[in-house]
Amino acid sequence: MEAPLARLIAQEIRIGGPIGLDRYMDLCLSHPLHGYYRTRDPLGVHGDFTTSPEISQTFGELIGIWIGATWRQAGGDPTAIRVVELGPGRGTLLVDAVRALGRIAAGARIELHLVETSPILRERQREALSRHDPPPVWHERIETLPAGPAMILANEFFDALPVRQYERTAQGWCERRVGLSPEGERFVLGLDPEPDPRISRQAEIGTVLTVPGVALDIVRRFSRSIVEHGGALLAIDYGHVRPGFGDTLQAVAGHLFTDPFETPGEADLTAHVDFAALAEAARLEGARDHGPVDQRDFLLALGLRQRTDRLKASATPDQAAALEAGFARLADPSRRGMGALFKALCIGHPRLEALPGFVDTAWRKETGHVD
C-alpha cells in the first residue's frame, strides 16, 4: 500500500467498510489526482492499449461516411451536422471521420462536441483538431451537451465505465465488494453478507452478474434525446451479445493483463460491454436498436476492403503493408483480432431503419460470404 491511490482507497475502506466495484473502478480511473485517465495518455505502442482509430485511418473514415449516410435519415439538417464523441482519446477518429464526412457533405457546417475527463487527452484532442472550423467544444460531462439532434460516437468508451457485480448465493444475490485482507496489506474481493433484494434473476449458485449502471444511465439519457430530437448513437466496443452473466472485469498495463486489485490507478480497468442490456435500456425509452453486429461485418459493409485498396494504390510498399496489417487487425474474426471480439450497436429514432453497416449482415452470416 505504498502508492498514494492505494492508501486513499484503503483508508476509505477502513472508515466505511468494503466498497462496491463501481466505486473502486471510479477511483482507479477517475480520481482527480491519481486516476488512471487523469495522469497519462494510455494509448499506442508505448501506452497500455491500442484502439481501432489508432490502427488505421480507414476506421475513422468509414465512420465519417456512416455519419454522412445516416444524418439526414436521423432527422438532421443537411447543412449543419453535429457530431458528439464520448471519450475521444487522441482525437484520431474525429480527424479521420471529419475529413471523409467533409467530402461527402461538402459545404455543411460540422459542429464537434467532445466529452472528455482527462486533461492530458483533451490537450491531444485540441492539437489534433486545431484546424477544425468552427472550433470544437469540450464537455466534462454529458449533461452540458446542447439539446438537439446529434450523431454520438463511442468507441471503447462504455467499457471504461464503472460496473457493479453480484454473485448468486444460497441466500440470494449478494454484491461483490472490495475490502482489505486481515493484515490490511492487499485488496480482496468479498461478498456482502446481506442479499440485495432488487435483483430477482434466476441463476445457479455461484453465477456472477455484472451490472453496468453508469453505461445504462448514459444510454437512457441519449435514447430520450434521440426519440425527442433525432440523431443516433454508435457504440463500438468489445463485449457480449447475450445478457451478461459472468465476471468480465479486467486490468491491462503495458499491453498485458494484470490483477485489477494489485496496482490501483496504474492499470486500465474495463469490463466487457453488455450490449443486450444497453439495447434493452434504449428500447424501454422508445428508441430503436440496430445490431449489435461484429465489427468485421460493420466495416466490410461500409467498404473497408475497397477503402484499403484505394489507399494502397497510391502508397509506398511499406505503407501498403501497414494498411493491409491494419485491415487484418480490424477485421480478423479470430481471438487475436478485433473483427468478432468487437461489436457495433446503433441506437436511433424509431423511424430510422435499414442503416448502413447494419443491413446486410444477416445475409452475410447466412451465406458465409467473405470479402
Type of residue numbered 294: D
- Which is nearer to ligand SAH, 31 or 177 (by Cβ)? 31
- Beta carbon of residue 39, minimum distance to ligand SAH (angstroms, whole number): 11
- Which is nearer to ligand SAH, 93 or 311 (by Cβ)? 93
CA distance 260 to 248: 11
**Residue nearest ligand SAH by beta-carbon distance:** 87
87 binds ligand SAH (CB under 6 A): yes
- Beta carbon of residue 89, minimum distance to ligand SAH (angstroms, whole number): 3
Chain residues 100-139 in contact with ligand SAH, contact rule CB under 6 A: 115-118, 121
238 binds ligand SAH (CB under 6 A): no
Count of residues interacting with ligand SAH (CB under 6 A): 20
The three three-digit cell numbers of residue 359, written as one number: 443491413
Binding mask 47-86 for ligand SAH (x = CB under 6 A): ----x-xx--------------------------------
One residue of 88, 291, 292, 303 binding ligand SAH per CB under 6 A? 88
The three three-digit cell numbers of residue 5, written as one number: 491511490
- Beta carbon of residue 184, minimum distance to ligand SAH (angstroms, whole number): 29
- Beta carbon of residue 43, minimum distance to ligand SAH (angstroms, whole number): 6
250 binds ligand SAH (CB under 6 A): no
For residue 320, the tally of other CB atoms under 10 A from its CB is 16
